[in-house]
Structure 1
Amino acid sequence: MSKPALTAAQAPGAKSRFDDYVVVHIQQTPRNHGSTFFLPWHRYYIWHYENALRTECGYKGYQPYWNWDRYAKDPANSPLFDGSEGSMGGNGAKVAHQGIPIPGAPRPYNMIPPADGGGCVTTGPFKNMTVNLGPLAPTLQITRNPRSDGLGANPRCLRRDVNKNAAAVTTANYTYDLITANKDVYWFQTVMEGQFPQGKWGVHAGGHYTVSGDPAGDFYVSPGDPVFWLHHAMIDRVWWIWQLQDLEKRLTQVSMTRTMNNMPPSANGTLDDLSGLGVLAADVKVRELMSTMGGLGGKFCYIYE
């Protein structure tokens, strides 16, 4: 987080290499969610981040994933969020707020009740972390960014409201059903990302809203909370497990269109469409991102435990 940003010219709020990844996510959210690119793009994204940790920061380990079910009953007091030295930082200080609004969901699923946080994180490794970018889609009352695209300087504390109500949809039964009940990638991804009009949050939103706060609860700026990377490693792991059930078909299976929820209307995505990371990495074909074992010209070479 101390290395200077590559994106400062286009994003004055970006102060570090960590912020570069937030900038790219902000800029590419409308293309890489609710579209063909959601799963392969995020695979590329988290792989590139892990590689940067190793090559630029001297990190010797691997990108951990957050096994949602293990801590779903009481996430705030779990080793992940208990504020200990080995955690990902604690919950936020208790601040009264309305809860987490879920646009498009019917009552009572349109609001996740507030938990015991909502304020600044005051314990653990990230207690003094500064969030620089956003907000764009906040779930708390946050000072607005000076730029409409969220890329201006807006320094503030890291806030969380670790929420077991959201974690309730990330238990093992949901993940098991997601993997076993959906035989094509359209339904696998649709159920994973959430069916909000039916009041189904999905494990993707469920994980984000378990952390909630700012920026974790912001659809665009969520990579600004370091827990994002553990959550999306688990998203990638679940996709990988789903692919393993029928590798011959599922390594070449894509669906949906090239725009989020097909707005504006666009053509169906294909394996030959390009997917990239802006200033971070070159565009590659989607087919290069489909396998963790040999994808990206052999640069992808990993499995999950």
Structure 2
Amino acid sequence: MVLSKVWGATLLAGFAVAQTYPPDVVDQLAKDSLPKLKEWLERNPQEGCTYETAVKRREWRDLTVEERKAYTDAVLCLQSKPALTSDQAPGAKSRFDDYVVIHIQQTPRNHGSYWNWDRYAKDPANSPLFDGSEGSMGSNGAKEEHQGIPIPGAPPPYNMIPPGDGGGCVTSGPFKNMTVNVGPIAPTLNVQRNPRADGLGYNPRCLRRDINKHSAAVTTANYTYDLITNNHEIYWFQTVMEGQFPQGKWGVHAGGHYTVSGDPAGDFYVSPGDPVFWLHHAMIDRVWWIWQLQDLDSRLTQVSMTKTMNNFPPSENGTLDDLSGLGVLAPDVTVRELMNTMGGIGGKFCYIYE
């Protein structure tokens, strides 16, 4: 959960254009909470970061087509540069793959712990994110029959997501010719196995998606608003966000991932291999940011759970002094620094969401 701030901060840029969607209840909550941030900054000046100088992160549809294309071009550029992790992951062929490798290696530690989901929840496949146009993140996958997406640990009928209208290779948009190189580890579709058990071997295949409105239905603004306003401690905020599958309760985190689904987006370990992962996790960061704004004095320092996913194997509790451990991606910094978007890491973190 903590490192969602790193994943969101690494690739997402902020641009200024007019908003074209009416604000939902979460947007309004964020706007109403900004005076709390300004008041906190007056009492706690940050290192060169002020409300006026902070980068304003904006939702995908609020960018111009040219700005969206600049983002996807940057992803394609990463995919054209040689990997730095190939010594430990032979399947890694690009700098983009490096992010997937680090995520695979960190998954047991960082889980279980921006796109605005609500805007497109009713019809995600035809949204500005996935309509396959030049200004999209690529299309749905070609129609390919499959049985649906199993959800381990959930009781019927919550243990199987009905199939969407995709399942095959992405056919249009900036990533129609993209090659997925590493994984799978926990595939949701019938794709070729990786030659290594750890998923780090070379396993080239197309990018597959099954854009799914059944999954998107649990990401509407009412779920996000209730998550933020009804959970006052980090343990419950985190638990409800992730989902309580044995009780048949989805979280918005899982809902966003399974809205895209496919390969690698539906794979718990390899999901950063689909470029849309980064927009989803920036929204996770935004939701956490809005939750923090409700009580900055307390919530900027709240951490929860142990250092291993679901405490397996058993481990000690996480602390604010733990290091990020992002390998070749970035120098180690403490969790304490990652918690503060308005002055963390010596002022390098300086952004808000609009």
Find out whether 1:5 has 2:54 as its counterpart: no
Distance in 2 separating the partners of 1:2 and 1:76: 27
Distance in 1 separating the partners of 2:160 and 2:320: 37
SS of aligned partner of 1:303 = strand
The residue identity in structure 2 corresponding to 1:162 is I
Deviation per residue, 1:118-171 (Å, 9 max, x gap): 000011111000000000000000100011111111000000000000000000
- Identify which of 213, 225, 228 aligns with 2:262: 213
The residue identity in structure 2 corresponding to 1:169 is V
Query: Following superposition of structure 1 onto structure 2, how do residues 32-181 of structure 1 map, counting pairs within 5 Å?
Result: 32-35=110-113, 65-181=114-230
- Identify which of 347, 350, 353 aligns with 1:298: 347
Give the CA deviation at 1:265. Answer: 1.3
Find out whether 1:196 has 2:272 as its counterpart: no
Query: Following superposition of structure 1 onto structure 2, how do residues 207-246 of structure 1 map, counting pairs within 5 Å?
Result: 207-246=256-295
Let me know the Cα RMSD of the aligned residues. 0.7
Q: Please give the TM-score of this superposition, normalised by the length of structure 2.
A: 0.77
SS of aligned partner of 2:327 = coil
Give the CA deviation at 1:285. Answer: 1.4
Give the CA deviation at 1:201. Answer: 1.7
The residue identity in structure 2 corresponding to 1:7 is T
Distance in 2 separating the partners of 1:162 and 1:128: 18
SS of aligned partner of 2:272 = helix
Aligned residue in 2 for 1:57: none
Aligned residue in 2 for 1:265: 314
- Identify which of 78, 95, 104 aligns with 1:17: 95
Q: Please give the TM-score of this superposition, normalised by the length of structure 1.
A: 0.89
The residue identity in structure 1 corresponding to 2:81 is K
- Greater C-alpha Rg: 2
SS of aligned partner of 1:93 = strand
Give the CA deviation at 1:255. Answer: 0.8
**Share of identical aligned residues, percent?**
88
Deviation per residue, 1:213-259 (Å, 9 max, x gap): 00000000000000000000000000000000000000011111111
SS of aligned partner of 2:142 = strand
The residue identity in structure 1 corresponding to 2:136 is S
- Identify which of 274, 285, 304 aligns with 2:334: 285
